[in-house]
Structure 1
Amino acid sequence: MSQSKPSFSDKKQITYYSRLTQLGIGEEILITLPELSGLMFTSTRHCRTLLGQMHEYGLIKWEPKVGRNQRSTLTLLYTLAELKAELAQNMITAGDYEKALSLIDNDKALFEKLLVHTSGTQMREGQLHIQLTYDRPFSSLLPHQPQRNSERFLLRQIYSCLTRCNRDGAVSDALAHHWIYDETNLVWKFFLRPGLSFHDGSEINAEVIVSLFKELQTRPPYIKELAHIQSISASGALCIQFELRRPDPGLAGLFADVRYSIQPISQLLSTTKAIGCGVFQIQEHSDEKLKLITNNQYHGYRAFTDSVTIWQVSRSKDYNPGEIEIRTGGLVSNQSSSCSSYLSAGKTNSGLSEQVHNRIEDGCLLGILNHRSHFTDSQLKKIRYLLFSNESLKNKLDQSLDYNIEGVLAYNLLPNWVKLSAITDNDTQLPKKISVALFNHKGLEGCAKAISSILADNGIECDINCYSFDEFYRRAFASTLSEDLLLTSVNFDDNRPTSVYCWLLSDPVLHQSLPQQQRRWLYQELEALSSITTPQNYLTQLEPIATTLVASHLLLPMFHHKQTLHFEGLLQGVKMSPWGWPELRDVWFEQ
Structure 2
Amino acid sequence: MQALERYLELYERFGNAGGAGASAETSLGQIAEALYCTERNAKLVLRKLEEEGLIEWKAGRGRGNRSRLVFLADKGELLFGASKSYAEAGEYNKAYELLRAYGGDTGAGERFVDWMNGRFGFGKEQKEGTDVLRLPVYQPIVTLDPAEAMFSLSGHLILQLFDRLVQSDRTGKIVPAVAHHWECGAEGMEWTFHLRKGVIFHNGKELNAADVVYTLERLRERRNGWIVRTLDRAEAISPRIVKIYLNKPNRLFLRFLCSVAMSVLPCDLGGQSEDNYWRRPAGTGPFQIESWSEDRVILQANPHYYQGRPHLDSVDIVVMPEEGLLGRDRDVLSWQQLLCEPEEREIKPENGWELKESQDGCTSLLTWNMNKDGPHRTLAFRRAVDALIDRNAMIAELGDYRDRAASGFFFDPDSPRDHTDSGRQEVLQLLKQAGYDGEPVALAAYGKHAKDAEWIARRCAEFGIEVRLLIGTSENIHRYLGEADAILHAIVFPEEEVCLIENYVQEGSFVKEYQDPGMQSWITEKIDLALGFEQLQERQAFYGEIERRLKDEARISFLLHAKFYTNYHPSFKGVTINQHGWIDFKDVWRE
TM-score using structure 1 length: 0.70
State the alpha-carbon separation in 2 of the partners of residues 235 and 421 from structure 1. 59
Q: Choose 164-173 or 203-212, whichever is displaced more.
A: 164-173
- In the other structure, the counterpart of 2:346 is 333
Alignment partner, residue 72 of structure 1 = none
Give CA-to-partner distance per residue, 1:335-381, whole Å, 9 cap, x none.
9xxxxxxxxxxxxxx96412332226433222111213453322222
- CA distance 1:396–1:548, shift in 2 (3 Å): same
1:237 to 1:360, Cα distance in 2 relative to 1, 3 A:
closer
Which residue pairs with 1:368 in the alignment? 367
Alignment of 1:419-458 (within 5 A): 426-429=428-431, 430=436, 432-438=438-444, 441-458=446-463
**CA shift digits 1:134-156 (9 cap, x unpaired):** 33432232222243222222222
Shift of 1:485: 0.9
Name the structure 1 match of 2:519. 518
Residues 280, 290 of structure 2: 8 Å contact kept: no
What one-letter code is carried by the residue in structure 1 that aligns with 2:439? K
The alpha carbon displacement at 1:251 in A equals 0.9
Matched, 1:415 2:411: yes
Letter in 2 for 1:317: G
Alignment partner of 1:358: what SS?
strand
Counterpart for residue 504 of structure 1:
504
Shift of residue 543, structure 1, vs aligned partner: 4.8
Q: CA deviation at 1:386?
A: 1.3
Counterparts in 2 of 1:368-387, with a 5 A limit?
368-372=367-371, 373=373, 375-387=377-389
Equivalent in the alignment of 2:357:
358
Q: Within 5 Å, which residues of 2 pair with 1:159-174?
A: 159-166=162-169, 169-174=172-177
TM-score (structure 2 length as normaliser): 0.70
- Are residue 177 (structure 1) and residue 180 (structure 2) matched? yes
| Alpha-carbon spacing, 1:160–1:185, altered in 2? closer, same or farther (3 Å) | closer
Q: Aligned equivalents of 2:544 and 2:354: distance in 1?
A: 34
Deviation at 1:189, TM superposition (A): 1.2
* Residue number in structure 2 paired with 1:21: none
SS for the counterpart of 1:198 is coil
Deviations 1:218-259 (A, max 9, x none): 33531x432322222111111221112221232121111112
How much does 1:548 deviate?
Answer: 4.1
CA distance in 1: counterparts of 2:152 and 2:315, whole angstroms: 18
Q: Look up the SS of the partner of 1:589 in the other structure.
A: coil
> Paired residue for 2:195, among 192, 200, 208?
192
Indicate yes or no: 2:319 matched with 1:301. Answer: no
* Segment drifting more, 107-116 vs 427-436: 107-116
Q: Structure 1 residue 586: deviation in Å?
A: 1.9
Residue 254 of structure 2 is aligned to residue 252 of structure 1 = yes
Number of paired residues?
Answer: 475
Structure 1 CA distance for aligned equivalents of residues 313 and 159 of structure 2: 17
Which gives a bigger RCO, structure 1 or 2 (Cα 8 Å, sep 6+)?
1
Question: What secondary structure sits across from 2:344 in the alignment?
Answer: coil
1:402-458: CA deviations, max 9, x gaps? Answer: xx555443332221288686755541224523433435x332222222222112222
1:243 pairs with 2:239? no
Report the alpha carbon displacement of residue 544 of structure 1 after superposing the two structures with TM: 5.2
Q: 1:192 to 1:561 in 2, by over 3 A?
A: same
Q: Which residue is 1:73 aligned to?
A: none
1:155 to 131, 138, 158: 158
Q: For 2:558 and 2:363, how far apart are their aligned partners in 1? A: 7
Cα shift readout 1:13-52 (whole Å, capped 9, x = no counterpart):
xxxxxxxxxxxxxxxxxxxxxxxxxxxxxxxxxxxxxxxx
Q: SS of 1:130's equivalent? A: strand
In structure 1, the residue matched to 2:392 is: 391
SS of match in other structure, 1:145: coil
Matching residue of 2:43: none
* Distance in 2 of aligned mates of 1:446 and 1:99: 33
Q: Distance in 1 between matches of 2:534 and 2:394?
A: 38
The one-letter amino acid paired with 1:367 is L
Q: CA separation of 1:160/1:447 partners in 2, compared to 1, >3 Å: closer, same or farther? A: same
Partner of 1:76: none
CA contact (8 A) 2:142 2:475 kept: no
- Residue 317 (structure 1) aligned with residue 327 (structure 2): yes
Residue 412 of structure 1 aligns to a residue whose secondary structure is coil
Distance verdict in 2 for CA 1:462–1:205, change over 3 Å = same
* One-letter amino acid of the structure 2 residue matched with residue 261 of structure 1: S
Measured on the aligned residues, the alpha-carbon RMSD in Å equals 3.8
Shift of 1:322: 11
Give CA deviations for 1:489-524 in whole Å, capped at 9, x if unaligned.
31223x333222222232532122123333222212
How far residue 535 of structure 1 moved from its aligned partner, in angstroms, is: 7.0
> Can you give the 5+ residue segments of structure 1 that lack an aligned partner in the other structure?
1-80, 336-349, 399-403
**Structure-1 residue corresponding to 2:234:** 232
Is this contact kept in 1: 2:444–2:480, CA < 8 A? no
For 1:448, the aligned partner's letter is A
Measured in 2, the distance between the counterparts of 1:297 and 1:456 equals 60
- Equivalent AA in structure 2 for residue 225 of structure 1: I
Match for residue 283 of structure 2 among 276, 280, 286 = 276
Mark the CA change 1:215 to 1:369 in structure 2 (over 3 Å): closer, same or farther: same
Q: Gaps spanning 5+ residues in structure 2: where?
A: 1-75, 100-107
Cα deviation per residue 1:445-491 (whole Å; 9 max; x = unaligned)?
22222222112222111122234434444776xxxx25221222312
